[in-house]
Structure 1
Amino acid sequence: MTIRRSLRYGILGLGLTALAGCSTLSSIQSASTPLDTFELTPLPTGVVTTSRSRRQLEVALPTATGALSSDRILIKPTALQIASLPDGRWVNETTELVQLLLVRSLANSGRFALVTSAGLGPPPDFVLMTDLRAFQAEVINDRVTVVISSTMTLLRDTDDIVISSHRFTNSSFVTDTNAESLVDAFDQVMTRQLADVVAWIVRSSGS
């Protein structure tokens, strides 16, 4: 048996449940066995060395495929298979979790007068659109790897002109596939991506 197949069987042996669309997700969420709930951490409050700008930023709810529009912690044992941890979930649906992390991290940067979720607060100067491409653990090159990938687009709100667009992909190998280790890897990867995104937005918006 190859190492790749061994890893895949090892992951599946944890009891990962294959997902077959939103109906399956709903049935999993309604199961009688309670699931451990996990959250990720935003970037901490930074030390602002320049004056806070007067610019306001709105963070839209990210778009994603059906599997990512859930609160399950996803695994891809193969390129075409989607599974989830049987004993853990995110505190919010993945798209809502990412939106919240972006809002808090950008607010904590201290570079904007106001950072809000879509539909909240006064009209913004800029709108951040996010297409969430990957938020899962995968078997890559015979190793389990957490991958977070998203395409960010910064728009000027007054005329919907695209200021900048960039794809961010961050990943990290996982040595243990239990829920706590996987979530810790997700947190480390998301922290790196948030730092990259915040730096890009500050540069692109001139804040």
Structure 2
Amino acid sequence: MTPASAIRFALFWLGLSLLAGCSALSSIESASQPLNTFELSPLPAGAVAVSRGRSQLEVAAPTATGALTSDRIVIKPNALQVQVLPEARWVDETTEHVQLLLVRSLTNSGMFGLVSAEGAGPRPDFLLLTDLQAFQVETGADQQAVVIRTNMTLLRDDDGAVVSARSFENSVPVADTTAGQVVFAFDQAMTQQMTDMLRWLDRLPGV
């Protein structure tokens, strides 16, 4: 290799090293940028007329796919693709946030004497299981909407018998995918779903 070739070779590798360094620095800076944080509202006391009771209820942590176990706000352009809303996040991981909303809404309703998160209280009379199947913005050619889809199962704690099970789906259209529009629609959809949940539980005998 001639001296000139050696110099060109060295400059080539130096350029690649600098480019990789810049790329890594850009990734670090992007990861360290603060995201706007949002939380949804539980149902306040008296929002839904239900019977008052003294039973104790435990709300298990919802099950979900990996896309819904982070704190990012999920957007699905189609059934197979997952994106996230840029520069925005939930205050907790999605499943944790939903669990807390359920606990607080059920507590505020007065339907149960005590409502606790899984493992946080005495042995309950009932256990509420939630499978969170969708908690996302779904975009398509016709419209885009926030969609919340869950399967809920109420178990008797002493023998594990299923008291009742029901699927819920609530959606609210959004004009665009800006954070303000999306979070407001999520709050409306979650309010609808928690209202439907309370009415379902209130109709069950012995609860």
- The alignment's TM-score, normalised by the length of structure 2, stands at 0.82
Name 2:131's counterpart in structure 1.
131
Query: 1:48·1:111 contact (CA, 8 Å) conserved in 2?
Result: no
Q: Where in structure 1 do 4 or more consecutive aligned residues deviate above 3 Å?
A: 47-52
Q: Which digits, 9 at most, give the CA deviation of each residue in 1:41-67, with x for residues without a partner?
A: 000111797873220100000000001
Name 2:52's counterpart in structure 1.
52
Name 1:196's counterpart in structure 2.
196
Secondary structure at the aligned position of 1:129 is classed as strand
Matches of 1:88 and 1:77, distance apart in 2:
18
- Match status 1:92 vs 2:121: no
Q: CA deviation at 1:76?
A: 0.5
Q: CA deviation at 1:148?
A: 0.2
Name 2:158's counterpart in structure 1.
158
Name 2:35's counterpart in structure 1.
35
Q: Which digits, 9 at most, give the CA deviation of each residue in 1:129-172, with x for residues without a partner?
A: 00000000002452111100000000000000000000000001
Show structure 2 runs of 5+ residues with no match.
Answer: 1-26
Matches within 5 A, 1:132-147: 132-140=132-140, 142-147=142-147
Q: CA deviation at 1:206?
A: 3.3
Query: 2:154·2:163 contact (CA, 8 Å) conserved in 1?
Result: yes
State the structure with more CA Rg. Answer: 2
Secondary structure at the aligned position of 2:175 is classed as coil
Show structure 1 runs of 5+ residues with no match.
Answer: 1-26
Query: Cα gap change, 1:87/1:48 in structure 2, threshold over 3 Å: closer, same or farther?
Result: closer
Secondary structure at the aligned position of 1:170 is classed as strand
Matches of 1:55 and 1:133, distance apart in 2:
28
How many residues are treated as equivalent by the alignment? 180
Name 1:6's counterpart in structure 2.
none
Query: Cα gap change, 1:189/1:49 in structure 2, threshold over 3 Å: closer, same or farther?
Result: closer
Name 1:206's counterpart in structure 2.
206
Matches of 1:69 and 1:121, distance apart in 2:
24
Secondary structure at the aligned position of 2:204 is classed as helix
Matches of 2:169 and 2:51, distance apart in 1:
31
The structure whose residues are more often helix, as a share, is 2
Query: Cα gap change, 1:141/1:199 in structure 2, threshold over 3 Å: closer, same or farther?
Result: farther
Secondary structure at the aligned position of 1:186 is classed as helix
Matches of 1:159 and 1:148, distance apart in 2:
30
- The alignment's TM-score, normalised by the length of structure 1, stands at 0.82
Query: 2:50·2:109 contact (CA, 8 Å) conserved in 1?
Result: no
Name 2:180's counterpart in structure 1.
180
